[in-house]
Protein backbone atom coordinates (compact mmCIF):
# COMPACT_ATOMS: atom_id res chain seq x y z
CA UNK A 1 0.00 0.00 0.00
CA UNK A 2 1.14 3.53 -0.76
CA UNK A 3 1.47 6.22 1.79
CA UNK A 4 -1.02 9.02 2.16
CA UNK A 5 0.38 12.35 1.05
CA UNK A 6 -0.12 14.96 3.79
CA UNK A 7 -1.84 18.21 2.92
CA UNK A 8 0.51 20.92 1.78
CA UNK A 9 -0.42 23.04 4.79
CA UNK A 10 0.93 20.32 7.07
CA UNK A 11 3.88 19.45 4.83
CA UNK A 12 4.98 23.09 4.61
CA UNK A 13 5.67 23.30 8.36
CA UNK A 14 8.67 20.92 8.31
CA UNK A 15 9.91 22.62 5.14
CA UNK A 16 9.96 25.96 6.90
CA UNK A 17 11.76 24.34 9.86
CA UNK A 18 14.41 22.99 7.50
CA UNK A 19 15.22 26.59 6.56
CA UNK A 20 15.73 27.66 10.20
CA UNK A 21 19.54 27.25 10.00
CA UNK A 22 19.53 29.71 7.08
CA UNK A 23 17.25 32.08 8.99
CA UNK A 24 19.50 31.92 12.06
CA UNK A 25 22.23 33.92 10.30
CA UNK A 26 19.98 36.77 9.20
CA UNK A 27 19.76 40.04 11.11
CA UNK A 28 16.55 41.04 12.88
CA UNK A 29 15.03 42.71 9.80
CA UNK A 30 16.11 39.80 7.62
CA UNK A 31 14.43 37.31 9.97
CA UNK A 32 11.19 39.31 9.85
CA UNK A 33 11.33 39.48 6.04
CA UNK A 34 12.11 35.75 5.86
CA UNK A 35 9.12 34.90 8.07
CA UNK A 36 6.89 37.21 6.03
CA UNK A 37 8.09 35.59 2.82
CA UNK A 38 7.27 32.09 4.05
CA UNK A 39 3.87 33.25 5.27
CA UNK A 40 3.06 34.40 1.71
CA UNK A 41 3.12 30.76 0.59
CA UNK A 42 0.26 30.04 2.99
CA UNK A 43 -1.97 32.28 0.88
CA UNK A 44 -1.61 29.73 -1.92
CA UNK A 45 -1.90 26.48 0.08
CA UNK A 46 -4.74 25.18 -2.08
CA UNK A 47 -2.79 25.70 -5.29
CA UNK A 48 0.31 24.16 -3.73
CA UNK A 49 -1.65 21.08 -2.66
CA UNK A 50 -3.40 20.74 -5.97
CA UNK A 51 -0.11 21.20 -7.82
CA UNK A 52 1.15 17.84 -6.48
CA UNK A 53 4.77 18.90 -6.75
CA UNK A 54 6.81 16.38 -4.71
CA UNK A 55 9.60 18.74 -3.62
CA UNK A 56 7.98 20.91 -0.94
CA UNK A 57 10.13 24.00 -1.41
CA UNK A 58 9.27 24.33 -5.10
CA UNK A 59 5.56 25.22 -4.67
CA UNK A 60 6.53 27.50 -1.79
CA UNK A 61 8.94 29.38 -4.07
CA UNK A 62 6.43 29.48 -6.92
CA UNK A 63 3.83 30.95 -4.52
CA UNK A 64 6.25 33.63 -3.38
CA UNK A 65 7.21 34.36 -6.99
CA UNK A 66 3.55 34.73 -8.00
CA UNK A 67 2.81 37.03 -5.08
CA UNK A 68 5.81 39.27 -5.80
CA UNK A 69 5.06 39.29 -9.52
CA UNK A 70 1.52 40.36 -8.72
CA UNK A 71 2.72 43.20 -6.46
CA UNK A 72 5.25 44.39 -9.01
CA UNK A 73 2.73 44.32 -11.86
CA UNK A 74 0.22 46.34 -9.84
CA UNK A 75 2.77 49.12 -9.66
CA UNK A 76 4.08 48.87 -13.21
CA UNK A 77 1.93 48.44 -16.26
CA UNK A 78 4.67 49.50 -18.66
CA UNK A 79 6.80 46.35 -18.31
CA UNK A 80 6.36 44.28 -21.42
CA UNK A 81 7.79 40.97 -22.56
CA UNK A 82 9.18 41.68 -25.99
CA UNK A 83 10.64 38.58 -27.61
CA UNK A 84 10.13 35.01 -26.62
CA UNK A 85 11.54 31.70 -27.74
CA UNK A 86 8.72 29.20 -27.36
CA UNK A 87 10.78 26.30 -28.71
CA UNK A 88 12.32 25.18 -25.42
CA UNK A 89 11.26 21.60 -24.72
CA UNK A 90 12.80 21.70 -21.23
CA UNK A 91 10.90 24.86 -20.30
CA UNK A 92 7.64 23.57 -21.78
CA UNK A 93 7.94 20.42 -19.65
CA UNK A 94 8.67 22.47 -16.56
CA UNK A 95 5.66 24.72 -17.17
CA UNK A 96 3.47 21.65 -17.78
CA UNK A 97 4.46 20.39 -14.32
CA UNK A 98 2.88 23.53 -12.90
CA UNK A 99 -0.39 23.13 -14.82
CA UNK A 100 -2.14 21.79 -11.71
CA UNK A 101 -1.15 24.86 -9.72
CA UNK A 102 -3.15 27.39 -11.78
CA UNK A 103 -6.73 25.98 -11.78
CA UNK A 104 -7.13 26.49 -8.04
CA UNK A 105 -6.20 30.17 -8.24
CA UNK A 106 -8.82 32.86 -8.70
CA UNK A 107 -9.16 34.03 -12.29
CA UNK A 108 -7.04 37.23 -11.99
CA UNK A 109 -4.27 35.30 -10.22
CA UNK A 110 -4.55 32.43 -12.69
CA UNK A 111 -4.10 34.82 -15.62
CA UNK A 112 -1.20 36.51 -13.87
CA UNK A 113 0.35 33.12 -13.07
CA UNK A 114 0.20 32.08 -16.73
CA UNK A 115 1.62 35.45 -17.80
CA UNK A 116 4.42 35.06 -15.26
CA UNK A 117 5.31 31.62 -16.61
CA UNK A 118 5.22 32.84 -20.20
CA UNK A 119 7.66 35.61 -19.26
CA UNK A 120 10.34 32.98 -18.65
CA UNK A 121 10.54 32.02 -22.32
CA UNK A 122 12.91 34.91 -22.93
CA UNK A 123 15.39 32.97 -20.77
CA UNK A 124 14.79 29.62 -22.47
CA UNK A 125 18.34 29.44 -23.83
CA UNK A 126 19.76 29.91 -20.33
CA UNK A 127 17.34 27.32 -18.94
CA UNK A 128 18.33 24.87 -21.68
CA UNK A 129 22.00 25.45 -20.91
CA UNK A 130 21.48 24.26 -17.32
CA UNK A 131 19.80 21.09 -18.57
CA UNK A 132 16.92 19.01 -17.28
CA UNK A 133 18.55 18.21 -13.93
CA UNK A 134 18.17 21.81 -12.76
CA UNK A 135 15.15 22.82 -14.83
CA UNK A 136 12.87 23.70 -11.89
CA UNK A 137 15.58 25.74 -10.23
CA UNK A 138 16.33 27.46 -13.56
CA UNK A 139 12.66 28.34 -13.98
CA UNK A 140 12.52 29.80 -10.46
CA UNK A 141 15.71 31.81 -11.04
CA UNK A 142 14.22 33.10 -14.30
CA UNK A 143 11.09 34.21 -12.45
CA UNK A 144 13.16 35.96 -9.80
CA UNK A 145 15.33 37.59 -12.46
CA UNK A 146 12.25 38.88 -14.29
CA UNK A 147 10.94 40.37 -11.05
CA UNK A 148 14.33 41.92 -10.31
CA UNK A 149 14.34 43.56 -13.74
CA UNK A 150 10.80 44.90 -13.20
CA UNK A 151 11.82 46.36 -9.87
CA UNK A 152 15.03 47.88 -11.28
CA UNK A 153 13.12 49.46 -14.18
CA UNK A 154 11.06 51.43 -11.64
CA UNK A 155 14.07 52.97 -9.92
Quick check: 107 pLDDT over 80? yes
In terms of pLDDT, which residue wins out, 50 or 136?
Answer: 136
Q: How many CA atoms lie within 13 A of 38 on its CB side?
A: 19
Domain ranges (residues) in the chain: 8-154
| Long-range contacts of residues 117-121, Cβ cutoff 8 Å, at least 24 apart | 118/81, 118/84, 119/81, 119/143, 119/146, 120/91, 120/95, 120/146, 121/81, 121/84, 121/85, 121/86, 121/88, 121/91
In terms of pLDDT, which residue wins out, 57 or 107?
Answer: 107
- Measured CA to CA, the distance from residue 111 to residue 23 in angstroms comes to 33
Per-residue confidence (pLDDT) for residue 82, from 0 to 100: 47
Q: Shortest CA distance to 135 belongs to which of 98, 99, 83, 101?
A: 98
Amino acid sequence: MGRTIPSFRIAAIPEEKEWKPFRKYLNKNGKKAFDDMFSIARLYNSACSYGSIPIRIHPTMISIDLHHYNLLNEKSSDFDIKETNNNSIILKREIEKLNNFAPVLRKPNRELFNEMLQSTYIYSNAINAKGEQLSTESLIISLLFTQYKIKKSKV
